[in-house]
Amino acid sequence: MRFVRLLGVTIMIYGLSYLRHAVTQMFLFFTNSPNAEVRYILLNLNVGMVTFVLGIGVLLAKEWARTTWLMCTIALLALHTVALTLSRGSNVVMPILNFTLIVLLFLVSWWKLTREPVKELFS
């Protein structure tokens, strides 16, 4: 159970990082560069909110959060793979770090949350 709670907190922190990035993008959009694309701001905001709520659900050991988080990791892995392949310019460090983090979260989540003893912890 300790691992499930630690994973829930990690998922919440991951969601908060998306929310922080979205707020930073919104601040820059409204102050300096109105040519920033709103769809990326909304994507980061939505991913952050969903991931934060799923982290709370995993922390509380809810079955809906476990299954939804496992599905969400697949979508996030695909999203970060596309972002990594489409990244241009000199700043490729952040897409590589984001990709590495989601691969680790994907592997750990699927390795632990699909086991029968861990499934029984969720109600």
Please give the Cα distance from 51 to 94 (Å, whole number): 19
**pLDDT at residue 33 is higher than 80:** no
- Segment 101-122, tens digit of pLDDT: 999 999 999 999 999 999 999 8
Comparing 39-43, 66-70, 96-100, the range with the smallest average pLDDT is 39-43
Question: What is the Cα gyration radius of the chain?
Answer: 16
- The pTM of the full predicted model, rounded to 2 decimals, is 0.88
Q: How far apart are CA 51 and CA 55, in angstroms?
A: 6
pLDDT of amino acid 35: 64
Residue 92 is encoded by which pair of tokens?
């490729």
